[in-house]
């Protein structure tokens, strides 16, 4: 017999054991293109002291790692006010810290909620709610570009509509660069959102885990977007800096989700203290922190790694775009960040088999992809407004993109698409 929550968690999917990653030679794991380089760096640079076998400095990030992270973020995020190591708190991944944000900004089971645009990273729906007693309010921006400053009005409308239903919005969560749309928020939109949060007296939490996975188009006709951290904007006259929090981690830019390291950067001492108090439940490994510190301290290496990553991401994106164009599949063309493309497979939904229920048809299509060895996150999992969207990962070696084999990212699973989609009965 389980508790009610235990019984409901028992129905939620999770990864356990071997994941079917693809490589034609040795079947290595490999969503990210720089993992070989990183593994080599770690194997040649890391020796561990016995201190790593202890609790070390506690559960919130070693001084060495927080110093190295501050240096890294100050170099790459160009913050208006430099980031002090004391503003940084580490935990075992951004996943846990997203939950912590919900825990420390919202009261449980009291109509407290977090505002998000959609589509958005699907795991937020679990990470922020499963253990917190907090609900999520998704804002539909309709035809508005969710990165333009016009989206601010949509968020305000979402806030007011929720309020009218008795929902207390406590925070706005954005993902910048965006997962799954791969776009960066322009500075003026960030300022608009910061002003909105200031006027409503709520926190703004910016998940910037893809901050340095932004590649540049080598085509003059396609302007590259620049990543602007929310910390790059001087909050003076816009918002109390204590309402602004940033999430970052090793999982994406370094291709090292296995390290299980994420951090939150906040100028709010009370928020930071609360976060640190509960980080004991998601403490990072001392070994992982040693490795990450070693990497981040070597900024020359980091620059080289990121340059390589950007080159390979651009190549992967161009290969995927080319294959999709040949297959006549529509996708979200904007953006130059992250590892994914947002496909529109609405024309392929088997509506005739689901009595016209398009969400059921999306699930059916997804099942057929899975059975055929092609696994992509669905639009439904990413809170898409319309059915038929799928998230395709292109950050694989080219042969994998071309062959369309299975690999896994997070617990939703992602895969490159077979390109013979049109005309095929899935
Ligand atoms: C936007 C976003 N935040 C957080 C995470 C999870 O980060 P971590 O591996 O540090 O838990 C992901 C992983 O896909 C993500 O896309």
Give 76-126 pLDDT, tens digit per residue: 999 999 999 999 999 999 999 999 999 999 999 999 999 999 999 999 999
pLDDT of residue 245: 98
Q: Could you tell me the CA-to-CA distances from 425 to 72, 158, 362, 407, 422 in Å, in that order? A: 49, 40, 14, 22, 8
> Which ligand 1 atom sits nearest the alpha carbon of residue 96?
11
Token pair in block for residue 266: 């906040």
State the pLDDT confidence band at 2, using cuts at 50, 70 and 90: very high
Give the pTM.
0.92
Return mean pLDDT, the chain: 89
146 lines ligand 1 (CB under 6 A): no
**121 alpha carbon – ligand 1 mean position (Å):** 8
376, 366 in Cβ contact below 8 A?
A: yes
Residues 6+ apart with CB under 8 A from 350: 361, 364, 365, 368, 426
Distance CA 275, CA 268 (A): 10
Q: Are 198 and 222 in contact (CB under 8 A)?
A: no
For ligand 1, the distance from its centroid to the CA atom of residue 177, given in whole angstroms, is: 12
Mutate-to-test residue for ligand 1 from 92, 173, 179, 252, highest number of ligand atoms within 8 A of CB: 252
By percentage, how much of the chain surpasses pLDDT 70?
89
Domains and their CATH numbers in the chain:
4-37+301-415 (3.90.1150.10), 54-298 (3.40.640.10)
Find out whether 73 and 265 touch, Cβ atoms under 8 Å: yes
Exposed e or buried b per residue across 389-402, where buried means at least 16 C-beta atoms within 10 angstroms of its C-beta:
bbbbbbbbbeebbb
Q: How far is it, in rounded angstroms, from Cα 17 to Cα 236?
A: 49
Q: Rounded to an integer, what is the distance from CA 59 to the centroid of its chain? A: 23
Task: State how far the Cα of 369 lies from the Cα of 19, in Å rounded to an integer.
Answer: 17
- Tens digits of residue pLDDT in 394-407: 876 655 555 554 33
Ramachandran assignment for 56, one of left (phi > 0), alpha (psi -120 to 50 degrees), beta (any other): left
In short, whether 282's Cβ falls inside 6 Å of ligand 1 is: no
Range name among 73-82, 293-302, 415-424 with the lowest pLDDT average: 415-424
List the one residue out of 369, 367, 417 whose CA is nearest residue 392: 417
94 lines ligand 1 (CB under 6 A): yes
Q: Is the CB of 158 under 6 A from ligand 1?
A: no
| Range scoring the smallest mean pLDDT among 22-31, 130-139, 263-272, 323-332 | 22-31
Question: 371 pLDDT band (50/70/90 cuts)?
Answer: confident
Pocket flag, ligand 1, residue 257 (CB < 6 Å): yes
* 338 CB near ligand 1 (under 6 Å): no
Ligand 1 mean position to 94 CA, how many Å?
Answer: 6
- Diameter over CA atoms, the chain: 63
Question: Measured in angstroms, how far is the CA atom of residue 425 from the centroid of ligand 1?
Answer: 34
Of residues 375 and 98, the one with the higher pLDDT is 98
Task: State which ligand 1 atom lies nearest to the alpha carbon of 409.
Answer: 14
What is the CA(357)–ligand 1 centre distance, in A? Answer: 31
From ligand 1's centre to the CA of 107, what distance in Å?
A: 24
Tens-place pLDDT, residues 163-217 = 999 999 999 999 999 999 999 999 999 999 999 999 999 999 999 999 999 999 9
Listed residue (188, 202, 112, 125) closest to 156, CA to CA: 202
Average pLDDT over residues 331-346: 94
Whole-angstrom Cα distance, residue 55 to residue 286?
7
* CA 360–ligand 1 middle distance (angstroms): 27
Res 396: pLDDT: 67
Residue matched to tokens 């990962």: 393
**SS3 assignment for 130-144:** CCCCCEEEEECCCCC
């Amino acid at each position: 017999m389980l508790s009610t929550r235990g019984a409901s968690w028992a129905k939620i999917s999770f990864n356990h054991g071997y994941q079917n990653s693809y490589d034609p030679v040795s079947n290595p794991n490999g969503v990210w293109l720089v993992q070989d380089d990183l593994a080599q760096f770690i194997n040649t640079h890391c020796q561990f002291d016995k201190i790593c076998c202890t609790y070390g400095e506690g559960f919130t990030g070693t001084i060495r790692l927080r110093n190295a992270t501050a240096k890294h973020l100050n170099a790459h995020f160009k913050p208006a006010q430099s980031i002090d190591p004391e503003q940084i708190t580490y935990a075992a991944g951004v996943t846990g810290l997203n939950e912590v944000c919900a825990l420390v900004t919202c009261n449980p089971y009291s109509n407290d909620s977090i505002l998000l645009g959609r589509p958005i990273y699907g795991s937020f729906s679990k990470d922020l709610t499963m253990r917190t007693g907090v609900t999520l309010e998704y804002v539909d921006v309709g035809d508005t570009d969710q990165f333009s400053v016009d989206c601010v009005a949509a968020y305000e409308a979402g806030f007011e509509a929720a309020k009218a239903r008795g929902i207390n919005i406590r925070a706005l969560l954005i993902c910048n660069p965006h997962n799954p749309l791969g776009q960066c928020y322009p500075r003026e939109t960030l300022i608009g959102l910061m002003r909105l949060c200031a006027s409503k007296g709520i926190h703004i939490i910016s998940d910037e885990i893809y901050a340095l996975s932004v590649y540049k188009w080598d085509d003059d006709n396609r302007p590259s977007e620049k990543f602007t951290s929310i910390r790059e904007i001087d909050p003076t006259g816009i918002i109390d800096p204590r309402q602004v929090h940033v999430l970052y981690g090793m999982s994406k830019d370094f291709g090292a989700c296995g390290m299980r390291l994420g951090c939150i950067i906040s100028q709010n001492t009370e928020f930071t203290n609360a976060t640190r108090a509960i980080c004991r439940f998601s403490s990072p490994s001392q070994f992982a922190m040693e490795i990450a510190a070693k990497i981040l301290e070597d900024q020359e290496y980091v620059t080289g790694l990121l340059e390589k990553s950007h080159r390979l991401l651009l190549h992967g994106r161009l290969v995927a775009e080319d294959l999709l164009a040949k297959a006549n599949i529509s996708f979200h063309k904007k953006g130059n960040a992250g590892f994914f493309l947002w496909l529109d497979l609405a024309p392929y939904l088997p509506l005739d088999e689901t009595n016209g229920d398009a969400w059921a048809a999306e699930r059916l299509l997804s099942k057929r992809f899975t059975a055929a060895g092609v696994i992509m996150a669905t639009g439904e999992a990413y809170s898409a407004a319309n059915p038929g969207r799928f998230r395709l990962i292109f950050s694989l070696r080219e042969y994998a993109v071309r062959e369309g084999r299975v690999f896994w990212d997070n617990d939703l699973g992602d895969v490159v698409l077979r390109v013979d989609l049109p005309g095929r009965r899935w």
